[in-house]
Amino acid sequence: MTSTLATSQIVEKLPTELAQTQTALNISNLGRSFLTRKGAVLEALSEISLRVRRSEVVAVLGPSGCGKSSLLRILAGLDEDYTGEIDWNLEQIDSSAAQRLRSATVFQSDSTFPWMNVEKNLLIGLSGLRVEAQEASRRAARYLGLVGLSGFRGAFPHELSGGMRQRVAIARALATEPLLLLMDEPLAALDAQTRLVMQQELLGIWSETRSTVIYITHDIGEALALADRIVVMTARPGRIKAIQTVPFGRDRDVVELRREPEFGSLEADLWKLVADEVGQSLDGSGRKEPKE
């Protein structure tokens, strides 16, 4: 495959395995506008159309303010004030369905409950699922271990660092083994080493749970390390500027991957696409901010 991306062109080439997979969600012509305090209309998202396959990991890159979190809130069902259509096809008819959440979200800022200890913060995510006590303990041990917090089960959020609190929020979402996992810059608050370890762990978990994942990040290397496809968004109003298929298999090693020449050239191509849009969003050229 070629690693050259044509600006403003949507590249929609899928690995054969994914092309044959069922659709998990189909977003058609999605738009979202907000009213500012002065009553001006701020168009945050426009003409977003995207088909996500089951078990696919889609990363979303784009400049600050281009509507990434707005899109995630809509997909999480927290904002219904959008235009366009979203068709869901997540239902799973097998014995594990009652033990898995339909969708779980990790938000951009940590979202732990300060009055609950780490273990309770995780277990609260499982309430509502038909998970027996023994299975709940297994998941708590597994996912807290995985984010490196086994020794902090009884600690309260105020006793943890910001990065640790974010890891609690990640463990809580993962423990629900959701059919759809929505993540908004989940690793941004972590140090570089922990981030790499977590990236490798996420790949391992997703291959086990086969979750469909929408993963927002500012980190191009992270998008290449984790995703099957990468969506690049324009400056506000956020539109889809390009979609890049990631040519690496899922059994990738996130550190070794960085040595591959194709990783470097894709990273450079994606950076050019994103940098153009970051420039647009910073100098405001062509797009006017509504007056407050």
* Interface contacts to Mg ion, rule CB under 5 A: 69, 108
Closer to ligand ATP by CB, 46 or 176: give it: 46
Angle CA 100–106–111, to nearest 5? 115
Q: Return the H-helix or E-strand segment holding 43.
A: strand 41-53
Judged by CB under 6 A, does residue 70 bind ligand ATP? Answer: yes
Judged by CB under 6 A, does residue 69 bind ligand ATP? Answer: yes
What x-and-dash track marks residues 27-66 binding ligand ATP by CB under 6 A? -------x-------x-x-----------------x-xxx
Residue from 236, 239, 241, 252 binding ligand ATP (CB under 6 A): 236
What x-and-dash track marks residues 146-175 binding ligand ATP by CB under 6 A? ------------------------------
Q: Residue 182 in 3-state DSSP?
A: strand
Shortest CB 33 distance to ligand ATP, Å = 9
Please name the residues in contact with 53: beta carbons below 8 A apart, sequence gap of 6 or more.
Answer: 14, 18, 19, 21, 22, 23, 24, 212
Report CA-CA distances (Å) from 136 to 90, 168, 251: 23, 15, 28
What is the C-alpha to C-alpha distance for residues 139 and 123, in angstroms, rounded to an integer?
A: 9
Q: Which does 125 bind (CB under 5 to 8 A by kind): Mg ion, ligand ATP, none?
A: none
Angle CA 208–214–216, to nearest 5? 125
Residue pair 195/222 in contact (Cβ under 8 Å)? The answer is yes
Q: Which does 111 bind (CB under 5 to 8 A by kind): Mg ion, ligand ATP, none?
A: none
Phi, psi of 211 (to 5 degrees): -65, 150
Judged by CB under 6 A, does residue 122 bind ligand ATP? Answer: no
Shortest CB 37 distance to ligand ATP, Å = 8
Write out the residues near ligand ATP by the rule CB under 6 A: 34, 42, 44, 62, 64-70, 108, 236
